[in-house]
Structure 1
Amino acid sequence: MNGLIAFLPVFVILVMLLVGKSSVGRAGFLGLLTTLILSGTYFHTPLEVICRSVLAGLVASLPVSVIVVASLLQLSIMEVSGAMKRIISFSRQLCCKDEVSQFLTLVIGFGTVLSAAGAVPVTVITPILVAMGYSSVMSISLSALGYDSLCTYTILGVPLVVFSDIVGVDLIFAAKHFVPFISVVSFSISVAVLYIAGGLKYIKRGFVPSLMIGLLSFLGAELAIFLKAPIITGLIAGFLIIAVLLILYRLRNGKDLMVSPKDEMSLIKAFMPWLILIFFIVCINLFEPLRNLFYKTLSVPIDLLKGRPVYTRPFWQAYTWIFASGVISLFIYRLNNQQLREIFRKTKKRVAQPFWSATVFFLIAYVMMNSGFEKTQNGFELLRVENNMIHAMAVFSAKLFKDFYPFFTPYLGVLGGFVTGTQTSATAMFANYTMETSKLLGFSPIFMTAAVAFGSGLASAISPSKLQNAAASIDRIGEEKKVFPKTILIVLLMALFTSVISYSVRKYSL
């Protein structure tokens, strides 16, 4: 009974999204309200613990919520300056003689690099595909799906960092648990992109390149681990994919004639905010003294729960350097006062709902994690384990799924990604629950939690918030509702492949 009641906030959010057609932010608020009420009444959590948990969740959400603001500011700068227009023009001409190569290069390769560099692929790639003449439904579907294979390494590895912090392991050790999933998921997503774009005909033509994408994604992850910089996996793998696909394309079709009108901005200048950002992040993560300084020495822990600090790492987080690259690009583009006001207006209009949506699920997760804790002389302790919501959910799931739990974990991730809209928020919401359940069943807690994370990445293709952002980028709000029936079966099938991997590594330990 306790387990079903503990799951109630998740059910409330799901019902509000599917039946009530609520926004992600409103559904999240009702889920948070349900969590607060249950934690304080049914699970007997003191008010002080609840308040501290909410504050801890707010602090823990900053790498995601603030990065939303930073990324949207960067996007507004590039739109107002004309940089985005130049990038779209360039992308339309890329691999224009072969649609299969074009789809894989733009949607998989370019999408992965964009997401890794702090951009939002659904708001960049969707307008590009529409400008190339594809339907709004297909454009939204492809832009939301394409970069999901390396969703763990989006926004310069923020989901991985949150995963390692919540699970309580080293960043490198955490990254190694994602490697078994990468090649299979990357291959399956490439095939899914081709199927949506052109059916079985495109799958046949792009099968070998899809296999190569799976291999290149795996090699990119291994190289990043070797360099002790797993958060740049998305950049390494994305650039590898683009380079190899372009080489294959040129061997088959020759070099495209890329026409650049004289009145257009240079390509280097257009890409400058992302290039500056990549330079900062690569330097910080490959130069060990800097990495140790920003990641460890200046970790700035905030200990609201006495013994379980949240490490903010303000000088290492991607949002700091996205803001920095954005400010520098203002001088490069030489924007006037009117353009600066337009940037502020666009950013202000866009940030409120995504900021709250990125925050609220961390609040829910931290209240659940600390439910039942009481203040003692030693700090805050869980004196009665049955009063903890995460424990109740874990015991219920262990009894329900038993040995089949590894098959369930990716689908839990899909549910979490659908509900929260981001892999990071889904990981925050379900990581502790998955760890606890896996321990009860004797499975590898970290591998099972990694399976949840990958499942939540796949959910980008059906997440209401992601699809709505894509539709908004082409001024077609409402079109996103037509995408869900088109992609839901594909997502569930890809989750099945992930389940097979999850089951095969269920008791493996590194």
Structure 2
Amino acid sequence: MDGLVAFSPVLIILLALLFTRSSVGLAGLFGLSAAFFLSVFYFQTSIEILLRSLIAGFLASLPVSMIVVASLLQLTIMETGGAMNTVILFSKGLCEKDKMLQTLILVVGFGTILSSIGAVPVTVITPVLVAMGYSSIKSISLAALGYDSLCTYTILGVPLVVFSDMIGIDLISAAKYFLPFVSVVSFSISLAVLYMAGGMNFLKRGFWLSILIGIIAFLGSEFSIILRVPVITGLIVGVLVVIAIMSLYKPRNGENAFRVDRKINVIKAISPWLILIGFILFVNLCTPVRFAFYEFLSMPIDLLRGKPVYLRVFWQAYTWIFVSSLISIFIYKLNKQQLKTVFHKTKTRVVKPFWSATIFFLIAYIMLHSGYQKTYSGFELLNFQNNMIHAMAASSAKLFKDLYPLFTPFLGVLGGFVTGTQTSATAMFANYTMETSRLLNFSPIFMTAAVAFGSGLASAISPSKLQNAAASIDKIGEERKVLPKTFYVVLLMALLTALVSYFLRYHTL
């Protein structure tokens, strides 16, 4: 009974999304209210603890919520400066005589690169796919699906950073636990993209290429670990995938998608991304700078006495997205009227996504610290039965027993669907999965990694991502027709991930 009560905030959010017209943010507010109420009156939590947890959750969400603000500002600047039209036209011209290769480059290759540097693939790629001749429904589906293969490393590794913070290990160790899932998920995503784009014809033609993409994803991830820069894994792998696919393309006589004038225009158009990549490489590859920004200037805020939140403002991706965006204003030579347009558009765009990115961290921190009381020695959990995470874990252990490893990716899919982002889903379910795995004597970190990858797969069915894709082509409402087409694909990919999870259930590094 305690487990069902503890899980009810998540169920409330899910029911609100499925059976009402509630937005992700509003559904999250329902869940937050339920979590707060239950923590006080059912799990006997100190009000002071809950208030501190809310503040700590807000601070912990900043790497995600501020990314939303920064990336939308950057996108708006690029739109206003005409850069996005140039990017779309150039992308359309790549491998234009071979639609299969062109689709893989855009959806998997460029999708991974864009998401890794803080851009929004669904809003950039969907219009390109429409211009290539795909239907609006298929364009939305493909754009939301493609970059999932390395969703764990999106936005310069923010999901990975949150994962490592939530379970208490360093970034390199966290990346090593993700490694076994990378190639399998990348392979399955590539197959799914091929099938959705061109049916069995594309699937047969591109099967061995999908295997190659899986191998590249694994090797690129391993390489980033060797370099000790796992946060740029998505960038490394995305570039390698594009190079590999482009090398297979045989241009016809007279075809030249890389004229000098086009190169100059494209370089100017993508200058915010190029500048951002330069900053990120400098911050992460220059060891003294990385130590200074990540360790020395970690800026811990310890609201819960012994469980500090590390802000790391100078290391975070959103800081450098803001900086590169401001520099691009001068590159595009935006005038005062255009800057006003950027400001008003960004202000309109960011409010709901910012709240949606924040709300699930608040819920996670309330659930994590439910049952705690203020004592003379600090904040303590005097009775484990009064902790929502423990109640959920104990109930799950009894329910699933030895089959729990097969359940973990599907839990991630549920979390990704409910929260809209892999990072938020990881924040919500990381400690629950760790606790359940310990009770069942499974590998806690591998099981939590399986949840993280499952939540990444959910991008293809996430209402917020599908709606963003539909909005980019002025087809709001079409996203409702996409979900039935991608739902079963996501479940099949989650099943494949579950098999990997089951195989690794007792494994340790």
TM-score by length of 2: 0.98
Following the alignment from structure 1 to structure 2, what is the Cα–Cα distance between the partners of residues 256 and 502? 46
Match of 1:283 in 2: 282
Following the alignment from structure 1 to structure 2, what is the Cα–Cα distance between the partners of residues 261 and 9? 56
What is the 5 A alignment of 1:29-178? 29-178=29-178
Following the alignment from structure 2 to structure 1, what is the Cα–Cα distance between the partners of residues 72 and 254? 34
Is the Cα–Cα contact under 8 Å of residues 370 and 388 in structure 1 kept in the other structure?
Answer: yes
Match of 2:499 in 1: 500
> Is residue 482 from structure 1 mapped to residue 466 from structure 2 by the alignment?
no
Aligned-residue offset at 1:253: 5.5
Structure 1 unaligned regions, length at least 5: none
Match of 1:7 in 2: 7
Following the alignment from structure 1 to structure 2, what is the Cα–Cα distance between the partners of residues 227 and 354? 33
Following the alignment from structure 1 to structure 2, what is the Cα–Cα distance between the partners of residues 272 and 455? 33
Match of 2:466 in 1: 467
C-alpha distance after superposition, 1:448-506 (max 9, x if no partner):
00000000000000000000011011111000000000000000000000000000011
Aligned-residue offset at 1:259: 7.3
Match of 2:22 in 1: 22
Is the Cα–Cα contact under 8 Å of residues 96 and 256 in structure 1 kept in the other structure?
Answer: no
- Specify the SS of the correspondent of 1:381: strand
Aligned-residue offset at 1:406: 0.2
Match of 1:245 in 2: 245
Following the alignment from structure 1 to structure 2, what is the Cα–Cα distance between the partners of residues 43 and 11? 18
Is the Cα–Cα contact under 8 Å of residues 94 and 256 in structure 1 kept in the other structure?
Answer: no
- Specify the SS of the correspondent of 1:448: helix
Following the alignment from structure 2 to structure 1, what is the Cα–Cα distance between the partners of residues 272 and 219? 27
- Specify the SS of the correspondent of 1:374: strand
Distance 1:179 1:253, change over 3 A: farther
* Percent sequence identity over aligned pairs: 66
Aligned-residue offset at 1:341: 0.7
Match of 2:188 in 1: 188
Match of 1:208 in 2: 208
Structure 2 unaligned regions, length at least 5: none
For residue 57 of structure 1, what is the amino acid of its counterpart?
Answer: G
Distance 1:143 1:402, change over 3 A: same
Following the alignment from structure 2 to structure 1, what is the Cα–Cα distance between the partners of residues 9 and 304? 23
For residue 394 of structure 2, what is the amino acid of its counterpart?
Answer: V
What is the 5 A alignment of 1:398-409? 398-409=397-408
For residue 56 of structure 2, what is the amino acid of its counterpart?
Answer: A
Following the alignment from structure 1 to structure 2, what is the Cα–Cα distance between the partners of residues 294 and 131? 42
Is the Cα–Cα contact under 8 Å of residues 6 and 392 in structure 1 kept in the other structure?
Answer: yes
For residue 248 of structure 1, what is the amino acid of its counterpart?
Answer: L
Distance 1:187 1:295, change over 3 A: same
Following the alignment from structure 1 to structure 2, what is the Cα–Cα distance between the partners of residues 198 and 135? 12
Following the alignment from structure 1 to structure 2, what is the Cα–Cα distance between the partners of residues 274 and 423? 23
Distance 1:109 1:256, change over 3 A: farther
Following the alignment from structure 2 to structure 1, what is the Cα–Cα distance between the partners of residues 365 and 285? 32
For residue 423 of structure 2, what is the amino acid of its counterpart?
Answer: T
Match of 2:386 in 1: 387
> Is residue 431 from structure 1 mapped to residue 430 from structure 2 by the alignment?
yes
Following the alignment from structure 1 to structure 2, what is the Cα–Cα distance between the partners of residues 91 and 419? 32
Match of 1:397 in 2: 396
Following the alignment from structure 1 to structure 2, what is the Cα–Cα distance between the partners of residues 306 and 259? 57
Following the alignment from structure 1 to structure 2, what is the Cα–Cα distance between the partners of residues 468 and 364? 23
- Specify the SS of the correspondent of 1:327: helix
C-alpha distance after superposition, 1:133-189 (max 9, x if no partner):
211100000000000010000000000000000000011000000000000100000
Distance 1:295 1:255, change over 3 A: farther
Match of 2:445 in 1: 446
Distance 1:454 1:305, change over 3 A: same
Distance 1:396 1:318, change over 3 A: same
Following the alignment from structure 1 to structure 2, what is the Cα–Cα distance between the partners of residues 117 and 262? 25
Following the alignment from structure 1 to structure 2, what is the Cα–Cα distance between the partners of residues 249 and 179? 29
- Specify the SS of the correspondent of 2:249: helix
Aligned-residue offset at 1:256: 3.8
C-alpha distance after superposition, 1:322-377 (max 9, x if no partner):
00000111111111001101111111111000000000000000000000001112
Following the alignment from structure 1 to structure 2, what is the Cα–Cα distance between the partners of residues 259 and 12? 52
Aligned-residue offset at 1:261: 11
What is the 5 A alignment of 1:302-451? 302-451=301-450
**Which range moves more in the overlay, 314-323 or 375-384?**
375-384
- Specify the SS of the correspondent of 2:133: coil
Aligned-residue offset at 1:131: 1.7
Distance 1:446 1:255, change over 3 A: farther
Following the alignment from structure 2 to structure 1, what is the Cα–Cα distance between the partners of residues 260 and 77? 22
TM-score by length of 1: 0.98
Following the alignment from structure 2 to structure 1, what is the Cα–Cα distance between the partners of residues 263 and 23? 39
Match of 1:268 in 2: 267
**Which range moves more in the overlay, 257-266 or 328-337?**
257-266
Distance 1:468 1:255, change over 3 A: farther
Is the Cα–Cα contact under 8 Å of residues 307 and 379 in structure 1 kept in the other structure?
Answer: no
For residue 210 of structure 2, what is the amino acid of its counterpart?
Answer: S
